[in-house]
Amino acid sequence: MNAVASLNVHPSKITWRAGVDVLCFGGTKNGLPVGEAVIFFDKALAVDFAYRLKQAGQLAWKMRFISAPWLGLLNNDVWLRNARYANPMAQLMAKRVEGIEGVKVMFKPQGNAVFAVLPPAVAQALRNQFIGSGGCRLICAWDTLPETVEQFASEVRALCAAH
């Protein structure tokens, strides 16, 4: 979703036309409470998929309750509107944290993710407040508010100054 929005291309260009056989289309990063859609462009690969899901305990009994919200997401390109909102929030996040001493944005954001190197003590302090381990992947979603980005950057700035 975010790649389509960032590249401003038709989804087919970066999926089946690019040689993708299977696509996992995540709903939770785009506003759904649960669920992912697995799309098989190569139908031969889907032959045992339902069986394997059921055997792994991944086939929900009331699948219609997980599937129904997808209609709202897919109709009227809501998924694309959400992605077009999340991507600029990642740009804002990168802009706000890259000027903080001790913080290095590793790559220019190309979607809704910011990859950053933080001082170890700062990363640990943030882990204590939020969940995560290892490097820092800062993700902006369909509902990320500019105020949230500003607050996060302010907290990183304060933690960096204290360490």
The total of structural domains in the chain comes to 2
Which residue, among 79, 84, 89, has the nearest Cα to 139 in the 3D structure?
Answer: 89
d(CA 80, CA 57): 31
The model's pLDDT over 138-161, given as tens digits with 9 standing for 90+, comes to 888 888 899 999 998 998 889 888
Query: Which of the listed residues 46, 79, 112 is the one where a domain comes to its end?
Result: 79
Buried b (16+ CB within 10 A) or exposed e, 8-36: eeebeeebeeeeeeeeebebebbbbeebe
pLDDT at position 133: 57
Instruction: Please give the residue range of the domain that contains residue 96.
Output: 84-162
pLDDT at 135: 62
| b/e 118-138 (16+ beta carbons within 10 angstroms → b) | bbeebbebbeeeeeeeeebeb
The CATH number linked to 91 is: 3.90.1150.10
Shared domain for 61 and 9, answered yes or no, is yes
Please report the beta strands in the chain, taking only residues with DSSP state E, as ranges in sequence order: 22-26, 36-40, 104-105, 113-117, 136-139
pLDDT reported for residue 132: 57
Q: 139 near 149, Cβ under 8 Å?
A: no
Is the pLDDT confidence value at 21 over 90?
yes
The length of the chain in residues reads 163
Residues 71 and 88 in one domain: no
Claim to verify: residue 19 and residue 57 sit in the same structural domain:
yes
Question: Does 63 lie in the same domain as 37?
Answer: yes
| Angle formed at CA 40 by CA 34 and CA 42, multiple of 5 degrees | 170
Among 51, 79, 107, the domain-final residue is 79
The predicted pLDDT at position 134 comes to: 59
Average pLDDT over residues 55-62: 76
User: Are 27 and 63 contained in the same domain?
Assistant: yes
Q: Are 62 and 112 within one domain?
A: no
66 versus 88: which is more confidently predicted?
88
How high is the pLDDT of residue 128?
A: 75
3-class DSSP state for residue 136?
Answer: strand
Question: How many of the other CB atoms lie within 10 Å of CB of 44?
Answer: 7
* C-alpha to C-alpha distance for 123 and 139, rounded to whole angstroms: 15
Query: Is residue 90 located within the same domain as residue 69?
Result: no
Q: Is there a single domain that holds both residue 93 and residue 109?
A: yes
Residues 69 and 88 occupy one common structural domain = no
Residue after which a domain boundary falls, among 79, 105, 120: 79
Mean pLDDT taken over the chain? 88
pLDDT at residue 127 above 70?
Answer: yes
